[in-house]
Amino acid sequence: MADVTVLAATGNQMVAEAFRQAAVDVLAAYPITPQTTIVENYAKYVADGRVHTEFVAVESEHSAMSASVGASAAGARVATATASQGLALMWEELYIAAGMRLPIVMANANRALSAPINIHGDHSDIMGCRDSGWIILFAETAQEAYDNSLISFRVAEHPEVQLPVMTTLDGFITTHAMERCELMDDATVLDYVGQRVPENPLFNGPGPVGHGMFASLGGSYFELKKAQRAAIDNSAPFIQEAGDAWAEVSGRPFEFVDAWKCDDADYILVVLGSAAGNSRVVAEQLRAEGIKAGVARIRLYRPFPAKEVVAALKGAKAVGILDRSDAFGAEYGPVGLDVRSALYGEGLLIPTRNYIYGLGGADVTLDAIHQAYAELQELAAGKLDQSLSYLGTR
What is the distance between the alpha carbons of residues 7 and 261, in angstroms, rounded to a whole number? 30
Q: Which stretch binds other proteins (CB under 8 A): 6-14, 48-56, 245-253, 288-296?
A: 48-56
Q: Is 264 an interacting residue with respect to other proteins (CB under 8 A)?
A: no
Contact 44, 95 (CB under 8 A): no
Contact 249, 2 (CB under 8 A): yes
Smallest distance, other proteins to C-beta of residue 117, A: 21
Q: Which stretch binds other proteins (CB under 8 A): 37-45, 92-100, 127-135, 325-333?
A: 92-100
Q: Residue 178: CB partners within 8 Å, gap ≥ 6?
A: 8, 9, 10, 142
HSE of 146, CA atoms in CB hemisphere, 13 A: 25
Q: Is 387 an interacting residue with respect to other proteins (CB under 8 A)?
A: no
Largest Cα–Cα distance in the chain? 69
- The smaller minimum CB distance to other proteins, of residues 1 and 197, is found at 197
Contact 147, 140 (CB under 8 A): no
Query: What does the per-residue mask of binding to other proteins show for 93-132, with x meaning CB under 8 A?
Result: x--x------------------------------------
Q: Which of 35, 72, 278, 325 binds other proteins (CB under 8 A)?
A: 72
DSSP helix/strand/coil, 383:
coil
What is the distance between the alpha carbons of residues 20 and 62, in angstroms, rounded to a whole number? 23
Q: Which of 2, 5, 44, 92 binds other proteins (CB under 8 A)?
A: 92
What is the distance between the alpha carbons of residues 202 and 70, in angstroms, rounded to a whole number? 9
Residues in 199-238 at the binding interface with other proteins, rule: CB under 8 A = 202-205, 208-216, 219-220
- The smaller minimum CB distance to other proteins, of residues 5 and 220, is found at 220
Smallest distance, other proteins to C-beta of residue 212, A: 4
Residue closest to 139 by CA, chosen among 328, 272, 277, 289: 272
Q: Is 26 an interacting residue with respect to other proteins (CB under 8 A)?
A: yes
- The smaller minimum CB distance to other proteins, of residues 202 and 291, is found at 202
What is the distance between the alpha carbons of residues 140 and 297, in angstroms, rounded to a whole number? 9
**What does the binding site for other proteins look like in residue numbers (CB under 8 A)?**
25-26, 28, 52-54, 56-60, 62-63, 66-76, 78, 92-93, 96, 202-205, 208-216, 219-220
